[in-house]
């Protein structure tokens, strides 16, 4: 399995390559990618250098043009495809039918990977994308169980990439309206579910409150670690019980099921986190490189080493990890 790492800056790109990523995915500095944070991402003029740097590490560069084009702004998405193709990147990651159509017609030799943002969760959907746009890989949404992934893999429509580590999103990826409802910004085009300007941390006699656009997300007791407020990971009162209603603030970690994913023929493992620091990227990629190599050497006896588990645990949201939907029994 290939290890696909994120990069939001030249520092993170270097960290990911030095730590052993097989491919690095990144976006341009505009709304064409779903991590459109201020200060992150790459200018089109940097793409050539990025590709050359990756070549020195025998690694690939994937460019995420994975948002849905806004009305009246198609020129931006078209330009992003042209710039990536011209820089000779290894693949585009896209979800919008218009972007996939334009790229496949204009650059038939350029690999297309179906983005997680397309939320393709059944083999017929994958077949349609393959037949229409010749996609060479699909990134699966983080809402599928291992059994469901196994069924998709059995159909062998297109090679699959799955998320291995990082933040969780429980909705149809990026099309969640929680953030739009609260802040007036789509997480898809604005780069974040809880934009920093909408977030407030307020000490109160009842504990530290976190709010997004004035909406109470959580209240923490003095000894509790307070996480960054994301609406889906808040604690709300439902039927007189206060609890994490949608999802707990924790990170996905699939080290435990690596041999199972390998046995299914999964082509690549994706690490989430283009918004993360170079230090975070270096540590996560180094750990996953070691784990993937060990799994490849001896999948039958593979057991995650405690040093890997500890290293990833420290970098996880709330210092906790979960297998998420891979192992969730409710559906």
- By beta-carbon proximity to ligand SF4, the closer residue of 162 and 169 is 169
Residues 251-280 contacting ligand SF4, CB under 6 A: none
Dihedral sign from CA coordinates of 127, 152, 160, 94: positive
Q: What is the C-alpha to C-alpha distance for residues 113 and 36, in angstroms, rounded to an integer?
A: 20
- By beta-carbon proximity to ligand SF4, the closer residue of 136 and 175 is 175
Site track for ligand SF4 across 120-159, x = CB under 6 A: ----------------------------------------
- By beta-carbon proximity to ligand SF4, the closer residue of 174 and 278 is 174
Q: What is the C-alpha to C-alpha distance for residues 242 and 252, in angstroms, rounded to an integer?
A: 23
Q: What is the C-alpha to C-alpha distance for residues 1 and 71, in angstroms, rounded to an integer?
A: 38
Q: How far apart are CB 18 and ligand SF4 at their closest, in Å?
A: 29
- Total binding residues toward ligand SF4, as defined by CB under 6 A: 12
CA 76 to chain centre: 22
Q: What is the C-alpha to C-alpha distance for residues 140 and 151, in angstroms, rounded to an integer?
A: 13
The DSSP letter of residue 28 is B
Among 170, 216, 309, 323, binds ligand SF4 (CB under 6 A): 170
- The CA–CA distances, whole Å, from 17 to 25, 34, 60, 105 equal 11, 22, 10, 31
The total number of residues shown for the chain amounts to: 331
Contact 191, 34 (CB under 8 A): yes
Residue 231 contacts ligand SF4 per CB under 6 A = yes
Site track for ligand SF4 across 171-210, x = CB under 6 A: x--x-x-xx-------x-----x-----------------
Residue 207 bridge partners (DSSP): 204
- By beta-carbon proximity to ligand SF4, the closer residue of 67 and 287 is 67
Among 60, 67, 90, 230, binds ligand SF4 (CB under 6 A): 230
Query: Where does this chain touch ligand SF4 (CB under 6 A) — which range of 29-37, 100-108, 115-123, 165-173?
Result: 165-173
Two tokens, residue 273: 């986190």
Query: Where does this chain touch ligand SF4 (CB under 6 A) — which range of 84-92, 133-141, 229-237, 319-327?
Result: 229-237
For 109, residues 6+ apart whose C-beta sits below 8 A from its C-beta are none
Residue 112 contacts ligand SF4 per CB under 6 A = no
Q: What is the C-alpha to C-alpha distance for residues 18 and 165, in angstroms, rounded to an integer?
A: 19
Residue 211 bridge partners (DSSP): 200, 216
- By beta-carbon proximity to ligand SF4, the closer residue of 174 and 304 is 174
Q: How far apart are CB 188 and ligand SF4 at their closest, in Å?
A: 8
Residues 293-312 contacting ligand SF4, CB under 6 A: none
Element (H, E) at 55: helix 47-56
- By beta-carbon proximity to ligand SF4, the closer residue of 187 and 324 is 187
Query: Where does this chain touch ligand SF4 (CB under 6 A) — which range of 23-31, 37-45, 108-116, 225-233?
Result: 225-233
Residue 80 contacts ligand SF4 per CB under 6 A = no
CB atoms within 10 A of CB 99: 26
DSSP output for 259-272: HHHHHTT--EEEE-
Q: What is the C-alpha to C-alpha distance for residues 319 and 322, in angstroms, rounded to an integer?
A: 11
- By beta-carbon proximity to ligand SF4, the closer residue of 130 and 142 is 142
CA 245 to chain centre: 22
Residue 232 contacts ligand SF4 per CB under 6 A = yes
- By beta-carbon proximity to ligand SF4, the closer residue of 249 and 304 is 249
Residue 34 contacts ligand SF4 per CB under 6 A = no
- Positions touching ligand SF4 (CB under 6 A) are 169-171, 174, 176, 178-179, 187, 193, 230-232
């Amino acid at each position: 399995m290939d290890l696909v790492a994120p990069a939001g800056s030249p520092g993170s790109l270097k960290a990911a390559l030095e730590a052993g990523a097989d491919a690095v995915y990144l976006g341009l500095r505009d709304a064409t990618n779903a991590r459109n944070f201020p200060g992150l991402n790459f200018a089109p003029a940097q793409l050539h250098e990025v590709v050359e740097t990756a070549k020195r590490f025998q690694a690939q560069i994937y460019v995420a043009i994975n948002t849905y084009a806004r009305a009246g702004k198609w020129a931006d998405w078209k330009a992003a495809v042209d710039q990536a193709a011209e820089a000779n990147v290894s693949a585009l990651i896209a979800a919008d039918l218009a972007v996939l159509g334009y790229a496949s017609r204009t650059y038939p030799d350029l690999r297309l990977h179906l983005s997680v943002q397309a939320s393709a969760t059944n083999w017929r959907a994958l077949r349609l994308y393959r037949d229409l746009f010749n996609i060479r890989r699909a990134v699966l949404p983080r809402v599928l169980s291992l059994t469901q992934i196994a069924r998709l893999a059995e159909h062998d429509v297109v090679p699959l990439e799955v998320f291995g580590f990082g933040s969780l999103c429980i909705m149809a990826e990026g099309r969640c309206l929680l953030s739009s409802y609260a802040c007036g910004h789509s997480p898809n085009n604005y780069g974040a579910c809880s934009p920093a300007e909408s977030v407030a941390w307020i000490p109160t006699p009842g504990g530290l409150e976190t709010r997004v656009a004035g909406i109470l997300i959580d209240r923490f007791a003095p000894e509790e670690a307070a996480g960054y407020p994301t609406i889906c990971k808040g604690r709300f009162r439902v039927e007189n019980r206060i609890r994490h209603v949608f999802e707990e603030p924790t990170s996905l970690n699939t080290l435990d099921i690596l041999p199972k994913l390998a046995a299914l023929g999964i082509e690549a493992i994706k690490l989430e986190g283009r918004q993360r620091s170079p230090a975070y990227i270096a540590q996560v990629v180094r750990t996953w490189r070691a784990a993937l190599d060990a799994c490849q050497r001896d999948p039958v006896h593979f057991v995650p080493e405690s040093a890997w588990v500890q290293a990833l645990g420290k970098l996880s949201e709330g210092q906790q990890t979960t297998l998420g939907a891979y192992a969730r029994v409710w559906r």
